[in-house]
Amino acid sequence: MLDEKNVLEAVRRRIEERGEASKLGLPDTAKITWHPLLEGEIVRSIETRTQEKRKHYGPIDLSGRPEYDSLARHHVALPKDLTATQTVTLVQRGSVTERSCDCSNGKTACPRCQGRGDLPCDPSTACTVCQGIDSCLRCDGAGTKNRNNSDGQQPTDERATCSQCGAPNAACPTCHGRGRVPCPTCDGHGVRDCPDCERAGTVPHQRCKGTGRTVTWIQGTITRKPLTEKIKHPKAGVPYLAWEGARESGDWDRTHLTHKDTLPADLTHAFRNLVQPHLEPREGEIARQATFKYLRLARVEAPQHPHRVYYVFPTVTSPRVLVLPSQRRTWQITATALGAVLVLFLVLRLVS
């Protein structure tokens, strides 16, 4: 693991590689700030147990479902894959009850037709052409002369011979003077099929949904769902390029923990304090697996180079040094760029 001596030596070599003289090495010539980097993932299996009364219409085979006496104390093996959802459905012992319905066969008399299968119907309906008002120009459908055509009024539409009074070219061609036509639903028979039972006279019994029996039981459900937490520390304060450099080539320490494991004994106090709060059990947690990687990153500021910041982290071979502009230098570069843009804008305004 890096110490201050390793860090200062690595920064000195980096400065010398750039062709610059260096006096780094003395404790009071450089400022070192340590950043513990921590990344990882915790997957928890969260369990819920619920119990409810269930009802099924018709026969159902529950023999294949596990039985339980107390849902809270019923043991189910921990899931092998904590990232998968697991649902176990059980039946409370002795709670299954099967009953035959009082309808016996799942049928009951149709309430609309009272079990007859048909409904009364008007055998005839008003003519859709003359509406019964202008059925015959002579008898109005009565069979005897009611109108006097001496005024010479002639029909404006094609008319037929009246079946009531026999007057030619006087009756509505659809109803032939009757004013009504046979009902299209019952064809003039005066009864029609019941639309609810389709002439059967019976309908499915609503209480048993037409099955003739019901089955009730107490059902217990045990559900395990994964809860995943991503860990990253610190969330701010370390430049993106430093993070990416450490991810790419850093020599990270790694550890994998289950809910039965304790933190490694050689874990530093700083990392122990970062990890421990994330390992507190959540409500309903029955199992946990955590994977962490951690690394110490050094931030070095040298008085001789106020516009640079050196970030140092261990690799498999030797410490790596990233040189990034200081915050002050970044502001200067930004201000210079904005100034150049402003000058260009003013020049373009003057030219135009």
pTM summary value: 0.66
Q: Report residue 276: phi and psi, to 5°.
A: -55, -45
Residues 6 or more apart in contact with residue 228 via CB below 8 angstroms: 41, 42, 43, 44, 83
Residue 330: per-residue pLDDT: 57
Residue type at 34 in one-letter notation: W
Q: Note the pLDDT of residue 154.
A: 46
β-pairing, 31-57 vs 213-233, is: antiparallel
Residue tagged 């994998």 (tokens): 256
- What is the pLDDT at residue 300? 94
pLDDT score recorded for residue 85:
96
* pLDDT score of 93: 96
Please report the pLDDT score of residue 189 as a whole number. 87
Q: How far is CA 212 from CA 61, 96, 101, 111, in A?
A: 16, 17, 5, 18
pLDDT at 1: 72
**What pLDDT is recorded for position 267?**
87
- Tell me how far CA of residue 279 lies from CA of 13, 70, 170, in angstroms: 41, 30, 99
Q: Which residues of the chain have pLDDT under 50?
A: 150-154
